[in-house]
Structure 1
């Protein structure tokens, strides 16, 4: 059989998808979702909602399809969505953007991250700093770009980084610092001190900042603070978000990049050779969503907060130790009190033991750090209340 080309082998290896035998494996998400289907377990593994988004958003997509918005949109995105993103950044964060120069529509945040890192990495000895555990795409794209991944560990139970470890990680070789806030998979919201230090270090070492802010409206105890709003950050920051999490439309894959015009142009130069364009009828729908009243965004956060609390109570009753998240879809629990020694083995057995699917946190870390997260498990709270109640009832059987 012909060998996998080098760049792609680096990408799948970066994502931890090549086994010791050299065979490409399915992701842990695919494996766990298949287990859920096979066993009839409640799937709290993958982070997708099981309820539709707001009617106004869905209706706009239907109307767009019915009225012929089904061909290639403009390369940067339809003007109305570009304007809606700019309005959103001004409304919530006080950032003034030119829709035609500072905004780019992408095929979800996933493409935005890939296009951004591929645009920014220019030399084989470039380094990209990420917080670990990390959204698994980061390692794959860094590997694909040819750069070196440098990680800053987030420690149980608060998952805030050690500031000295962050200082040590960022050097003159650092090309970009990736900040996912609110954070997947841990649910942590970084402190003001962490955000400020990121900006300080980026300036000192002339690095870019890439922010992944897809959970920006799902923060429970405070308002989201984009790094781009901090003094000295704008000129070196690419901010990324999407409509999938905010409007429960993860399958639409409508994301965006905002930042200085020269950086956005660099991302566009890569993006146009990836998807070129995407999601024509969904773009006006997300524009509608971004213009919904404040009450929608407040309700989205408060609803998920209540689900977080419901899930956390169920996990504690089952015998887990729980790290209470400050944002995002996810809650991390320690299964050590239930006898777990390996999170992946625990998660593979959990559908059979209790009828619930979760994801081992070791799926989000480098191989050399897996022992440090060996018994930690991620659960998703973005499900209907009755589903979470069912899951809690099933998990109660673990308490014996």
Structure 2
């Protein structure tokens, strides 16, 4: 709205005004048709298990609607610490090294706001989740992308990282299992990265929201390597593996001085994570691990069938060992990622996300979530195959 010559946009801080809108959200907003099959949402199609919902209903009946301690319910922090220790060989002290956040998104924001000053360089392993770069930019940080490649199974290599480190490098952001590629790092993969982090005095923000979704073996956290616990901020949550996206409960674990600094920001902004979400998280950790494992088995079955289907219709795709995303190549079509995704949506009624929104390394790919039902995946593959046939003559002509 304008009043005379006054424009409201002039009041918006430049560093906010200059942030680009979410590339993922752009495709969501285009999903107009009721017949559209969406492979764009990073959300399980499972409902939060009944016993978790019932625990919250009981809590409501008991009047548990008040603030919790800023850092979160001690019961939950103890459960998180125990879960990380038994599941991933991580040791964090619940009182001072675990902070419950409003989803893992707030954890990312807190970590970056705590660490970054104007001009600091943030090494960002890409393709990567879209939120890291804008949040870092709000702090005046300078993003330096470290690209991964399909040829390396989208793993971060020491060679790629070494080539991007400068005297201004302060933070390395990694996200494995990875969104959007599904890549996973093993202990052997992490060892040279750990040596580089120590040699160049880097703090690592490790977003491990998909930690449970490592299908071919237990997830290895960089923080579990010798000397890396204090140097690594571990971020996790309940949205993906526990089917709790709307409850907005995550956590951040790390060195007690860093966690104390994050807590100062958290207590003035979010105050605390929602109490019912925290109660749901406690119940999930105490009694919901079997349901979690069942959902993960279902995702693995869908992955196997969907990757097979993509390859059968002519979309090359590496088998993602983690998360619930396929990242097929569309380079052979001659279209950019955005062109392909837009045409796929408009002409075939299938919504996928252009790989380019995840960083320069994502160009030439699209992200497809297989967290939807198998029926929808099968129907999407049929539509995609028909769409690819319409592109075949042009693709053949370019190949000549």
TM-score by length of 2: 0.90
Structure 2 residue aligned with 1:374, among 363, 380, 391?
Answer: 363
The aligned runs of 1:230-245 (5 Å cut-off) are 230-245=225-240
Paired position in structure 2 for 1:154: 148
Paired position in structure 2 for 1:354: 348
Task: Kindly state the Cα deviation for residue 213 of structure 1 after the two structures are TM-superposed.
Answer: 0.3
In the alignment, is residue 383 of structure 1 matched against residue 383 of structure 2?
no
SS in 2 for 1:251: helix
The more displaced of 30-39 and 124-133 is: 30-39
Runs of 4+ residues over 4 Å off in structure 1 = none
Q: 1:259 to 1:165 in 2, by over 3 A?
A: same
The more displaced of 31-40 and 48-57 is: 31-40
Task: Kindly state the Cα deviation for residue 270 of structure 1 after the two structures are TM-superposed.
Answer: 1.7
Paired position in structure 2 for 1:115: 110
Q: 1:180 to 1:106 in 2, by over 3 A?
A: same
Structure 2 residues not aligned, in runs of 5+:
1-6, 390-400
Paired position in structure 1 for 2:398: none
Structure 2 residue aligned with 1:392, among 361, 381, 391?
Answer: 381
Q: 1:374 to 1:175 in 2, by over 3 A?
A: closer
SS in 1 for 2:33: helix
Paired position in structure 2 for 1:9: 17
Indicate if the aligned counterparts of 2:177 and 2:184 stay in contact, CA closer than 8 A. yes
The more displaced of 354-363 and 123-132 is: 123-132
Indicate if the aligned counterparts of 1:318 and 1:397 stay in contact, CA closer than 8 A. no
Indicate if the aligned counterparts of 1:213 and 1:241 stay in contact, CA closer than 8 A. yes
Structure 1 residues not aligned, in runs of 5+:
18-25
The more displaced of 101-110 and 314-323 is: 314-323
SS in 1 for 2:269: coil
Task: Kindly state the Cα deviation for residue 393 of structure 1 after the two structures are TM-superposed.
Answer: 2.6
Paired position in structure 1 for 2:89: 94
In the alignment, is residue 143 of structure 1 matched against residue 137 of structure 2?
yes
Task: Kindly state the Cα deviation for residue 90 of structure 1 after the two structures are TM-superposed.
Answer: 1.8
Task: Kindly state the Cα deviation for residue 296 of structure 1 after the two structures are TM-superposed.
Answer: 3.9
Indicate if the aligned counterparts of 2:148 and 2:155 stay in contact, CA closer than 8 A. yes
Task: Kindly state the Cα deviation for residue 280 of structure 1 after the two structures are TM-superposed.
Answer: 0.9
The aligned runs of 1:166-315 (5 Å cut-off) are 166-292=161-287, 295-315=290-310
In the alignment, is residue 55 of structure 1 matched against residue 44 of structure 2?
no
SS in 1 for 2:377: helix
Indicate if the aligned counterparts of 1:314 and 1:393 stay in contact, CA closer than 8 A. no
Paired position in structure 1 for 2:396: none
Indicate if the aligned counterparts of 1:217 and 1:300 stay in contact, CA closer than 8 A. no
